[in-house]
Homo-oligomer: A and B are copies of this chain.
Amino acid sequence: MSGPAAKTWQAIESEVRRRIHTRVWAPGDMIPNEQDLADEFGCARATVNRALRSLSDAGLLERRRKAGTRVALHPVRKATLSIPIIRKEIAARGQKPGYRRLLRRSGVPPRDLLERLGGDTDGIFLHVQALHTADGAPFVFEDRWINLDVVPEAAEQPFDEISANEWLVRTAAFTDGEIAFSASAASDEAADHLQCDPGAAIFTIERITRDGTRPITLVWQYYRPGFRMQTTI
C-alpha cells in the first residue's frame, strides 16, 4: 500500500519522511537504493535522487556511495538563520527603523583584534560605531572595523545616513566569512547606548568577512536585552 500519489520529487520526499516518521524505516536502517525506489514509485531515478538529496541536506538521511543510504541515527538538527540587514529586520517586526552613527575614526586596531583577523593585516582601519533603533528605542549597538587596504573607498564615506553594513554589501562582495553567536555582559559603553544596566546579558553576533584571505571587516553587534533570534527546524 501507501503508494506516493504523484511522481514529483516533493511527493517522494514526503513519502520517505512519512516512512521515517512512522518507523517503517527506523534510525540506522538502510533504505532501498535509488533504482529500486524509482521502480517502486514508478518514476525516474533522477527524481528519487532529488528527493533523497533533499532529505540528506536536511540531515535525515546519510548517503555514501557504494554503502547506500541509511536513516540518520542522530539527525543533526540544522537551523538556518537568516541574517538580514538590521534595518530590514526592524521593519519586518513592524517597527520604524532608525540609525545614528556614533563614532568614525581611522587608526590601527588593538592587537587582540588583529590576531582574531589573522593573515597579513597591518594597515589602517576605519573604526565605526553606530546605533540602530526600532520605534526610537535602542535595538542594536554596532562596533565595526573596516580594512581600508581592501576597501579604500570607505575612507570617503561618512556612514551618517547609510549603515556600514548596507554600504559594504553593495560595495565589497565578500567570498568567505565567519559568524559567531554568544552572550556577553554589557560593557559600560554598550549599556549606555542600549539604555540598560552594565553587565546585562546581551545577545552578541561577531562577524568577520573576507575577500579571499584579506579581511574586509570585523563587526560586533550587541542586541538590546531580551532579544531572541528565532527560526524553525
Residues of A within 8 A of B (CB): 17, 20-21, 23, 27, 73-85, 88, 166, 169-170, 173, 175-185, 199-204, 206-207, 209, 223, 225-233
Contacts and interface: CB of A to CB of B under 8 A. Distances in A.
A201 B178 contact: no
Contacts of A83: 76-79, 233
Given A77-B83, A78-B80, A180-B231, 16 more contacts: A74-B84, A76-B83, A77-B84, A80-B80, A81-B181, A179-B230, A179-B231, A180-B230, A181-B228, A181-B229, A183-B184, A183-B201, A183-B202, A183-B225, A183-B227, A209-B233
Contacts of A20: 173
Contacts of A229: 180-182
A150 to B, nearest CB: 13
B185 A75 contact: no
B78 A82 contact: yes
A221 to B, nearest CB: 12
A203 B181 contact: yes
Interface of A is mostly: strand
Which of A27, A201, A206, A230 has the largest number of chain B CB atoms within 10 A?
A201
A226 B173 CA distance: 31
Contacts of A225: 183
Nearest to A223: B183
A230 B21 contact: no
Query: Which 3 pairs between the two chains have the least Cβ-Cβ distance?
Result: A183-B183, A201-B201, A77-B83
Contact of A175 (B21, B80, B175, B179): B21
A181 B79 CA distance: 11
Given A77-B83, A81-B78, A200-B185, A233 B179 contact: yes
A36 B233 CA distance: 37
Given A82-B76, A83-B78, A84-B76, A184 B201 contact: yes
22 contacts: A21-B173, A74-B166, A77-B82, A77-B179, A78-B81, A78-B82, A79-B81, A79-B83, A80-B80, A176-B233, A177-B232, A179-B233, A180-B230, A181-B230, A183-B201, A183-B204, A183-B223, A183-B225, A183-B227, A199-B199, A200-B201, A209-B233
